[in-house]
Each structure stands twice: as structure tokens, then as C-alpha cells.
Amino acid sequence: MMTKPELMKRMVKGPDGLEFEVDPLRDYYCEAPPTVMPGAYIQIVEDFFNWARSQSLWILGFGTGCGAIEMRPLMTPRFDAYRFGVAWRPTPRQANLFIISGYLSTKTLKRAIRAYEQMQNPKYVIGLGSCTINGGMYWDSYNTIKKLDEYLPVDLYIAGCMPRPEALLAGFEEMKKIIRAGKAEGANQYAENFAWYKANQKRVIHDWDMPDYNW
């Protein structure tokens, strides 16, 4: 495998004339792995938080597969997902719900992991389409993953190829119930089993050229 020259350690001369070493694979801002976020001290406060969280699901607008085409009708008045507090955001920093819209090739999986890790807590993942559940149509493909929850903590799957917008709306409602019941602990699961998730991810992504945790 060819190592990319821009990813190798090198000496860089700063604007003040000082030379220093740069390792592009290191995250200089935060090297700490993710931590488990404890709930509120009192259960009723935590319930209130969960209720508030369930009312604003902000989706990361990253169309990873063909399911993304059914997202667009959801934004129009006919289906109008906005009335459920669902909105689409362009960047991971503003989103708390990641919809994996269909099959993930290993190349996209790498970007999806990065986008997921950049999202702020609390965060949720929905797997959309049969291909995220067991590979679906692409069960024998050499380039798509077959079981999404090996690599990212999935809270909810929506089956179908492809699911209709109504199925997505029902999925959002179901997601809200899960959040209100306090069972949407995907981010904490990810933090607890961080080593297991990383091992799974690294087994399929052969050129891992990014920090272990993309904060």
C-alpha cells in the first residue's frame, strides 16, 4: 500500500522561523478518548432533558447512500418533517441524529465514522434501508459492510429498499419514544466499548490514516 506523503511525519518551518515536527495523524487538540456522559442527578431532571432532546432531532445532511433521495420530499410541505422538530444541518457539529441512508462502502464508512465522532453528545444513529441491517441487495458485495451496528452504535433501523417517506416519519416518532424512555444510549455505548468498535472498524478499513478518535 502506498503511504500518502502528506500524512507522513515531517519538519515544518513556522512563520516565526522556528522548526517543529508535525504528525498529521495526531489530533493535537484532544487526544482523550470519548467518555461516558452520566445522566442528571435526579431522574425527573433527566426525563425532562430527554423530552427536550426528543423534540429537536437535527439530522446531519450526509447522504451516504441512495436512501438520501427520499429525504428531500420530507423537507417539502407534503410530508413536512419539520413539524416534528426534525431539521437538516450541513455540519456534524450542529447535528445530533446521523441517518446512515443505505449501504456503506468501506470508503464511506471511514467518513461516516469521522462525521459521527465529530457530532456533539447526545447523538443518535438511525440505519436506513435493508442494506444497513444485513447487507440487503449487496449481501455478497466485496465493498459494502453488512452489519452497521458492528461499527457504529445504532439506535433504530428502518427496513425497506428503499423505505418510503412515511416509514421515515414513523421512524422519527419511534426514535423520539426511545429517547424519551432514556434508552438512546448509543454515544455512551460507543464510549464504553470504544476499543471493540475501533477494532471492528480497523478490520475493514485497511488504510487508517486518521486519528483514532476524531474529536
The residues that touch other proteins, with contacts defined as CB under 8 A, are 1-2, 60-66, 68-70, 72-73, 75-78, 90, 92, 103, 105-108, 110-111, 115, 133-135, 137-147, 150, 161-162, 164, 200, 203-207
Cell numbers describing residue 181? 424512555
Cβ distance to other proteins smaller for residue 26 or 147: 147
3-class SS of residue 199: helix
Would you say 179 and 54 are in contact if contact means Cβ atoms under 8 Å apart? yes
Integer Rg of the chain from CA:
19
Least spacing, CB of residue 131 vs other proteins, in Å: 9
Cβ distance to other proteins smaller for residue 129 or 186: 129
Least spacing, CB of residue 81 vs other proteins, in Å: 13
Query: What is d(CA 78, CA 95) in angstroms, rounded to the nearest whole number?
Result: 24
Query: What is d(CA 101, CA 69) in angstroms, rounded to the nearest whole number?
Result: 9
Cell numbers describing residue 88? 437538516
Peptide bond into 73 cis (omega under 30): no
Would you say 57 and 85 are in contact if contact means Cβ atoms under 8 Å apart? yes
Cβ distance to other proteins smaller for residue 64 or 188: 64
Least spacing, CB of residue 102 vs other proteins, in Å: 9
Cell numbers describing residue 135? 447487507
Least spacing, CB of residue 194 vs other proteins, in Å: 18
Cβ distance to other proteins smaller for residue 16 or 140: 140
Cβ distance to other proteins smaller for residue 170 or 181: 170
Least spacing, CB of residue 79 vs other proteins, in Å: 8
